[in-house]
Amino acid sequence: MSTSNRQEIPGTLMVERREEVLLVRLSRPEKRNAMNDEMVLELEQVFSNIPEGIKCAVIFGEGKHFSAGLDLSELTDRDVVQGFHHSRMWHRALDSVQFGSVPVVAVVHGACVGGGLELASACHIRVAEASAFYALPEGQRGIFVGGGASVRVPKLIGMARMADMMFTGRVITSEEGMSMGISQYLTAEGQGLTRGIELAKKISCNTAITNYALMHVLPRITDSSQEQASMLESLIAAISANEPEAKGRMNAFLAGKAKKVGE
């Protein structure tokens, strides 16, 4: 039976449950969904307190844009220590997305700029609509990224491409972003959320240990030396294969009761 529960978080987010999928909508369309401190902290609140039974989440933007980045109109004059703590607040919040309890799909349309790209890159799957475009304008404004872009974006597109975006202010189109690796899926305008929910439902069908491994172990494997990475891989492979649900799925496949790849 389908369930749908809406929860408004005043000012910045709308949260809706659809069975095992949690929809999280950035809801500041009048600001192009620019991210202020309130939104960042509320994202942390949502992803640190995922309701029981939710197996995947989808983040998307209200209006014409995913997110135009940091809300520069709310910038305050901070000293170095305050600036450091502000950056670390973003890190903590976006870590709750990347390293939380459920996989997260980002559906991107219009502007995915600055902090918006930092949020999208913290998600595990990115679906882009044709209108999506990406930029890191911080370099043109005399500042440096502070919400995790320098950690996550080079892992998607490479250090040289990220440096180019910051050196020159280059804007990346949805097609370029797809070929570079920012997004894994590209859809026609208005079709992104449907595709994102489809993917979220498919991800929800995975075993819990597989999704946990992809979220928490795979990133650490890629950041480790070959010797350490191989050990981590062996450990998680042995643990996952020993799970009763995994054994049941393998037996079903061997008995011809499960679909083969490509069917």
How do strand 133-135 and strand 172-173 relate by DSSP bridges?
Answer: antiparallel
pLDDT in tens, 68-88: 999 887 777 889 999 999 999
- Report helix, strand or coil for 256: coil
SS3 content of the chain, % helix, strand, coil (to 5): 50, 20, 30
CA distance 166 to 162: 6
Residues 169 and 88 in one domain: yes
Lowest mean pLDDT among 14-18, 166-170, 188-192, 246-250: 246-250
Number of structural domains in the chain: 2
Mean pLDDT of the chain: 92
In a domain, 260, yes or no: no
In a domain, 115, yes or no: yes
pLDDT at residue 1 tops 50 = no
Residues 120 and 56 in one domain: yes
What pLDDT band is residue 3 in, cutting at 50, 70 and 90?
very low
pLDDT at residue 257 tops 90 = no
pLDDT at residue 201 tops 70 = yes
Residues 69 and 134 in one domain: yes
Residues 18 and 95 in one domain: yes
Residues 179 and 230 in one domain: no
Residue type, 246: A
What pLDDT band is residue 245 in, cutting at 50, 70 and 90?
confident
Last residue of a domain, one of 204, 227, 244: 204
Last residue of a domain, one of 204, 228, 244: 204
Last residue of a domain, one of 204, 220, 238: 204
In a domain, 259, yes or no: no
CATH number at residue 118: 3.90.226.10
Q: Which residue has the higher pLDDT, 74 or 106?
A: 106
Residue type, 205: C
In a domain, 183, yes or no: yes
pLDDT at residue 260 tops 70 = no
Residues 110 and 126 in one domain: yes
Give pLDDT, residue 74: 74
What pLDDT band is residue 238 in, cutting at 50, 70 and 90?
very high
What pLDDT band is residue 7 in, cutting at 50, 70 and 90?
low
Is the distance from CB of 107 to CB of 196 less than 8 angstroms? yes
State the Cα angle at 239 between 235 and 245, rounded to 5°.
155
CA distance 229 to 1: 42
In a domain, 139, yes or no: yes
Residues 102 and 135 in one domain: yes
In a domain, 184, yes or no: yes
Residues 223 and 159 in one domain: no
What pLDDT band is residue 44 in, cutting at 50, 70 and 90?
very high
Give pLDDT, residue 4: 55
Residues 114 and 90 in one domain: yes
pLDDT at residue 57 tops 80 = yes
CATH number at residue 234: 1.10.12
Is the distance from CB of 43 to CB of 11 less than 8 angstroms? no
CA distance 169 to 141: 10
Residues 14 and 130 in one domain: yes
Residues 206-233: what's their mean pLDDT?
A: 97
CA distance 234 to 256: 27
Active site residues: 118, 138
How do strand 21-26 and strand 125-129 relate by DSSP bridges?
Answer: unpaired
Give pLDDT, residue 253: 61
Q: Which residue has the higher pLDDT, 222 or 5?
A: 222
pLDDT at residue 252 tops 80 = no
Which of 53, 48, 148, 54 has the alpha carbon at shortest distance from 100? 48
Helices 149-157, 115-122: axis angle to 10 degrees equals 70
Give pLDDT, residue 54: 98
Residue owning tokens 């976006």: 94
Residues 188 and 229 in one domain: no
pLDDT at residue 180 tops 60 = yes
Residue 66: which domain range?
Answer: 4-204
Residue owning tokens 């640190």: 48
Sequence length of the chain is 263
What pLDDT band is residue 244 in, cutting at 50, 70 and 90?
confident
Left if phi > 0, otherwise alpha if psi is -120 to 50, otherwise beta: which for 177?
alpha
CA distance 172 to 160: 14
Residues 243-260: what's their mean pLDDT?
A: 67
Residues 112 and 74 in one domain: yes
In a domain, 262, yes or no: no
In a domain, 173, yes or no: yes
